[in-house]
Structures are given as structure tokens and as C-alpha cells.
Amino acid sequence: MRAERTGTTEPRMTAIVFALVLAAMGTAACHDVAAAAERPSGWGRYRDRQLGMAFDFPSHIFSLKSGEEGREGVVFSTPDSRARIRAFAVRNEANDTPREFLGKVGRPEGARFTYVRTTNRFFAASGTRDGNIFYSRCNFHARGQRASCFQMDYPQAEKRAWDATVTRISLSLTAVD
């Protein structure tokens, strides 16, 4: 004797299709949420062809209008001037490695390094001076003749508040032609 199926397969198939559609919508929604989390509001992209660099720019903290161009790049300041970002390029005519270059430029007068990292492509150095933290990063271009850099200065008492901002800018620094 053969067992008979009761009911049709249509409701079961509809339920399966519905479940797959919901799963796909959930995945798409999660992807959209994740993408939005990667681009929080208040962040833009600063690009400067003359300096040969681009980096994520915290426009909710610094105004592009605050940028002052000088002989050594561009400086952006917070409205109360307690923090600043300096974007600049340096020549590496001796074709030094990042470690050698950092050794030559040394640390700012009266400063104490608390962090130094060098690779064959960049250096990052941070320290304290006069109640402020300075963080510098220079990415060396493939040809080695130039480095694109930024330095951020902010109050030492606000270290934790600035950590994520400094990290994001540092990791987003890229060369542009």
C-alpha cells in the first residue's frame, strides 16, 4: 500500500519562498546597516592633489573653511582652537626609509614619544608636549621621493575622546596623484 500525501505542496512551497524572501531582505538590511555604520554622518573625504594625499575628514569636528594654507601645507582647527590637523607633504630626496627619515626629523622640541611604528611604507609616531598629544603619520610614495603626512594635536586630557578620530584618519591616509 502506498502512503498518500495529504494536502498540496503549494502552501509548503509558498512558505519556503516567503522564508527565503525574508532571509534575503534581512541580509540586505544588515548589509545596509553595516555600510551606514562604516560611513557615520559627519565624516567626509579630504583630497589634496597638490599634497598628493587623501584621508577621511571629521567634518563634524573640523570645518573645511577653517583650513589655512601655508608654506608647509594646510592646517584645520576646531572652532575653539583646542585641536588641529596639519596636512603636508615632505620631500625625501635622500630616498630614506620611513625609519631613517623619522630618525632625521626627530621629535619636536620638548616632546616625549609614547608610540612609534615604522614599516617600509610609513611611520606613525605619537607623544606628548606641553599638555598636548601629537600624532604624526607619513606615508611614503612608491617612488620614495615624497611622503604625504598629517599631524594632529589635541589636549592630553581628552585622549580617549580623540582616539577613534585619530585612528580613522591615520588608517584612511592614502596617496593620490
Task: Check residue 45 and report its DSSP letter.
Answer: E
Q: Backbone phi, then psi, for 81, in 5-degree steps?
A: 60, 20
Q: Backbone phi, then psi, for 121, in 5-degree steps?
A: -115, -20
Do residues 50 and 147 make contact, with C-beta atoms less than 8 angstroms apart?
no
Mean per-residue pLDDT pooled into runs of 10, the chain (177 residues): 41 40 39 43 90 93 86 90 94 90 77 90 93 94 84 96 96 89
Q: Backbone phi, then psi, for 109, in 5-degree steps?
A: -55, 130
Task: Cite the beta strand spans of the chain per DSSP E.
Answer: 43-48, 53-58, 68-70, 73-77, 84-91, 112-118, 122-129, 132-140, 146-155, 174-175
| Strand-pair category, 73-77 with 84-91 | antiparallel
* Domains parsed from the chain with CATH numbers: 43-175 (3.40.1000.10)
Distance CA 131, CA 153 (A): 10
How many C-beta neighbours within 10 Å does residue 114 have? 12
Residues listed for the chain = 177
Helix (H, G, I), strand (E, B) or coil at 135: strand
* 122: nearest Cα among 55, 48, 40: 55
Helix (H) or strand (E) holding 166: helix 159-172
